Amino acid sequence: MSSSRVALTARVKAEAQRLGFHLVGVADCRPPETYPAYVAWLQHGHHAAMAYMARERNRERRADPKRILPECKSILVLGIRYFQQDAQPMPADGRPRGRVASYAWGEDYHDILVARLRALVAFLEAELGHPVPNRYYTDTGPVLEREFAQRAGLGWVGKNGMLINPKLGSYLILAEILLGVALEPDAPFATDHCGTCTRCIDACPTQAILPTRTVDANRCLSYLTIENKGEIPQDLRARLGEWVFGCDVCQMVCPWNRRAPLEGDPAFAPRPGVPRPLLTEEIRLSRQAFNRKFKGSPIKRTKRRGYLRNVAVALGNAAQPHTVEALREALQDEEPLVRGHAAWALGQIATAEACEALRRALHVEEDPEVREEIRAALAACA
Ligand code: SF4
Ligand code: SF4
């Protein structure tokens, strides 16, 4: 163990904390042991339509950090706790509201973290007095980051597939910097604190959690409401409940989050109206209004069509007759995806007005898939 390496590592960790990272540890660059399990997960199709994950180049790079950075000697693994209490009062007006996963209440974490990662590399280079080969990622790179986080001593991978830190819980965004300089590695986190608990598995609305501490994206609401570009499968729509962007259920029920501090990084503070958006307003968002409302927010990732699709499903699950007018307007939306899910929602409400709106739409609708949705929805009107 070199004392200068230990001292440098301590200075880098102190700087990471000053930059706002709550967790920081160092892992070595050995290939990840969980790679075969990852390949099996892909082979079972659990990545759903995220084809980029299965691309050969990305797969190979996940197998060994040195395929990303041949000079790699250390991986600095960082974590930021993002959870915020939503201080905005929920009006008791009975109007249906959606629910947004808490990581997306505020600003886009990619924007927040990349600036800090860059600053940390600049600090290290200034300390050493020369450039250091590096690559950094925050949820964007071909890196099996949870294993590296565990190896860096930050926590264990829970049954819900999330990295859990015993003090901070699992509402964490992870980031990693592959470095061409050797830092002092941390001891891996050796304990599994899930024990006999199965709360996340029992509470998952779609039974998406697999026995391998991974999630089947085909069923996971986080995938279905964000990455999924097409329809929400009919048999899972009711399971969406109020969720219109992501899902926090398997974290909300985890006892390790109940013990965690309430506040995370203030950069993730909720934007007004985002944590519990008013569904009848959201379904009426024009393209311009959507872009304005979600500029700089992770929600823009779904694009307007995906977001309004989710909002329509949440309106169907709320099944409140006073929302028929908003859904009737959505039957004329420019996006077939939105029209189809609005039709489904009206079928869930199935009042005389909802059924009349569906019959009228069937007269004018030309898209075959939307017509199919309208016909299926009309079955509830017989
Ligand atoms: S995010 Fe929601 S749907 Fe996905 S595994 Fe967790 S509880 Fe299940
Ligand atoms: S809910 Fe229980 S089983 Fe699931 S991750 Fe948390 S401790 Fe582990």
Domain closes at, from 132, 149, 179: 179
3-class secondary-structure state, position 233: coil
What separation in Å is there between the alpha carbon of 292 and the centre of ligand 1?
29
What separation in Å is there between the alpha carbon of 76 and the centre of ligand 2?
26
Q: What angle do CA 212, 165, 7 make, to 5 degrees?
A: 120
Q: Is residue 219 part of a domain?
A: no
Q: Is residue 216 part of a domain?
A: no
Of 215, 232, 247, the residue nearest 46 (C-alpha): 215
Are 34 and 154 members of one domain? yes
pLDDT of residue 112: 83
Are 165 and 285 members of one domain? no
Where on the phi/psi map is residue 25: left (φ > 0), alpha (ψ -120 to 50), or beta? beta
- Take atom 1 of ligand 2 and give the residue whose Cα is closest: 254
The ligand placed nearest to the CA atom of residue 206 is: 1
Q: Is the CB of 194 under 6 A from ligand 2?
A: yes
Q: Is residue 249 part of a domain?
A: no
Are 7 and 131 members of one domain? yes
Of 251, 242, 311, the residue nearest 282 (C-alpha): 311
- Take atom 7 of ligand 2 and give the residue whose Cα is closest: 194
Q: Is the CB of 255 under 6 A from ligand 2?
A: yes
Q: Is residue 162 part of a domain?
A: yes
Backbone angles phi, psi at 328, to 5 degrees: -60, -40
β 243-245/99-100 pair status: parallel
Domain closes at, from 179, 201, 225: 179
How many domains are there within the chain?
2
Is 131:125 a contact under the CB 8 Å cutoff?
Answer: yes
Give the orientation angle of helix 35-43 with respect to helix 56-63, to 10 degrees. 160
What separation in Å is there between the alpha carbon of 225 and the centre of ligand 1?
11
Residues (pLDDT < 70) of the chain are 1, 86-89
Q: Is 277 exposed, middle or buried (0-12, 13-18, 19+ CB in 10 A)?
A: buried
Q: Is residue 209 part of a domain?
A: no
Where on the phi/psi map is residue 58: left (φ > 0), alpha (ψ -120 to 50), or beta? alpha
Are 282 and 175 members of one domain? no
Of 185, 159, 167, 182, the residue nearest 77 (C-alpha): 185
Q: What is the pLDDT of residues 132-190, one digit of tens each?
A: 999 999 877 778 999 999 999 999 999 999 999 999 999 999 999 999 999 999 999 99
Range of the domain at 60: 3-85+106-179
What's the CA gap between 367 and 328, in Å, rounded?
A: 17
Q: What is the CATH number of the domain that holds 377?
A: 1.25.10.10
pLDDT of residue 51: 86
The ligand placed nearest to the CA atom of residue 254 is: 2
Q: Is residue 239 part of a domain?
A: no
pLDDT of residue 262: 72
Q: Closest ligand 2 atom, CA of 201?
A: 4
What contacts 35, CB < 8 A, 6 or more positions away?
A: 62, 63, 144
Ligand 1 neighbours, Cβ below 6 Å, are: 160, 204-206, 208-209, 215, 220-222, 247, 249-250
Is 298:108 a contact under the CB 8 Å cutoff?
Answer: yes
The ligand placed nearest to the CA atom of residue 197 is: 2
Of 214, 128, 126, 140, the residue nearest 177 (C-alpha): 140
Are 174 and 282 members of one domain? no
Is 97:273 a contact under the CB 8 Å cutoff?
Answer: no
Tokens found for residue 286: 């024009």
3-class secondary-structure state, position 277: coil
Are 20 and 165 members of one domain? yes
Q: Is residue 246 part of a domain?
A: no
Length of the chain as a residue count: 382
pLDDT of residue 334: 97
Query: Which residues are known catalytic residues?
Result: 139
What's the CA gap between 147 and 34, in Å, rounded?
A: 7
Are 22 and 163 members of one domain? yes
- Give whole-number Cα distances, 97 to 90, 116, 143, 343, in Å: 9, 34, 36, 19
pTM for the whole structure:
0.95
Are 41 and 155 members of one domain? yes
Q: What is the pLDDT of residues 325-364, one digit of tens each?
A: 999 999 999 999 999 999 999 999 999 999 999 999 999 9
Tokens found for residue 225: 């409401």
Supply the DSSP symbol for 225: I
Give the orientation angle of helix 336-349 with respect to helix 368-378, to 10 degrees. 0
Q: Is the CB of 381 under 6 A from ligand 2?
A: no
Are 171 and 38 members of one domain? yes
What's the CA gap between 63 and 296, in Å, rounded?
A: 33
What contacts 223, CB < 8 A, 6 or more positions away?
A: 48, 50, 217
What contacts 212, CB < 8 A, 6 or more positions away?
A: 37, 40, 41
pLDDT of residue 346: 98
Pocket test for ligand 2, best of 162, 198, 207 (most atoms within 8 A of CB): 198
Q: Is residue 320 part of a domain?
A: yes
Q: Is the CB of 198 under 6 A from ligand 2?
A: yes
Domain closes at, from 179, 196, 224: 179
